Homo-oligomer: A and B are copies of this chain.
Amino acid sequence: VAAPAKTSAKQGRTRRARGSINPADIIAGAFDYCRTTPVEELSMPQLAAHLKVGVTSIYWYFKSKRELIDAMTDEALVSFYESMPPLQGANWEEKLRNFFASFYELLGADELKCDLIVRRIGAHSEEGAIRAWPRAEELLETLIAAGFSAPMARHAFVTLSAYTQGILLVERTGQSSVVMRESASPASEEFAFGITNIISGLALLLPRKGRKGAVA
């Protein structure tokens, strides 16, 4: 049957040393690889080639592709949290507005992070690295200090967060043309409208003051 002559050759990548790869390198390489290819198209063999390792080596550190993408999501979350600037603003309204403006800008500018965090490509664990977001905690405290009850403050956060993610999703999937055939304002203006609107709705829930201008 004529043995296939062993024309292996291929590329002759040399065998790598024992400690030459680790999870962090793989994840970093995966992020780098995804600057070219959308996550949903990431392939283990191609990632291995990009990293210059055998495919099987990746499986030494990650049980499955799913687990690798989960790890990427965790990494994306950490980097997202870290890049969120400290709370700024003269009052709770401004702090809220600035917080979600940063949220929107950060994820809007990074398709990969947006896919991982908002669209949840790997759609995994109930929790993982989600909670423990000190900045959000701080924001809730601000709201409570302003007079909101704790459950109210949580509702406010969830509303704004869902809205922001919804806008990111709608832009990301290009369905923004639902009711906007002609004119239509630029994305960030559209986003700002909703945030302003939600915040002014929240102000109405406060026991007293805040009705007029809390400007100074």
- A78 in contact (CB, < 8 A): no
Q: Check B201–A155 contact: CB distance below 8 A.
A: no
Task: Let me know if A197 and B198 touch, CB within 8 A.
Answer: yes
Given contacts A131-B177, A155-B193, A197-B198, contact A164 B161 (CB under 8 A): no
**Contacting pair B169 A154 (CB below 8 A):** no
Would you list which residues of chain A between 139 and 191 have a CB under 8 Å from chain B?
140, 151, 154-159, 161-167, 169-170, 173-181, 183-185, 190
Q: Which of A14-22, A44-52, A117-125 contacts B (4 or more CB under 8 A)?
A: A117-125
Q: Contact at A170–B162, with CB atoms within 8 Å?
A: yes
Determine how close the nearest CB of chain B comes to the CB of A113; give it in whole angstroms.
14
A195 to B33, CA, bound (A): 40
User: In the complex where A123-B173, A126-B177, A164-B166 touch, is A158 in contact with B190 (Cβ < 8 A)?
Assistant: yes
User: From A127, which residue of chain B is reached at the shortest CB distance?
Assistant: B177
Considering the complex, give the chain B residue whose CB is closest to the CB of A117. Answer: B175
Copies of the chain in the assembly: 2
Report the Cα distance A158→B186, complex, angstroms.
13
Whether B194 pairs with A155 at a CB distance below 8 angstroms is yes
Shortest C-beta distance, A161 to chain B (Å), equals: 7
CA distance A118 to B175 in the complex (A): 10
* Interface check A1, CB cutoff 8 A: yes
Residues of B within 8 A of A185 (CB): 151, 155
In the complex, what distance in Å separates the CA atom of A190 from the CA atom of B163?
13
**Given A161-B166, A163-B166, A197-B201, list of 8 further CB < 8 A pairs?**
A154-B184, A155-B193, A159-B163, A159-B193, A162-B169, A162-B194, A163-B163, A204-B204
What are 14 residue pairs bridging A and B, where the CB atoms are less than 8 Å apart in the complex? A118-B169, A130-B175, A130-B177, A131-B177, A133-B178, A133-B179, A136-B179, A155-B197, A157-B178, A158-B194, A164-B166, A199-B201, A200-B204, A204-B204
Leading 6 A-B pairs by shortest Cβ distance:
A166-B166, A201-B201, A162-B166, A159-B194, A197-B201, A120-B173
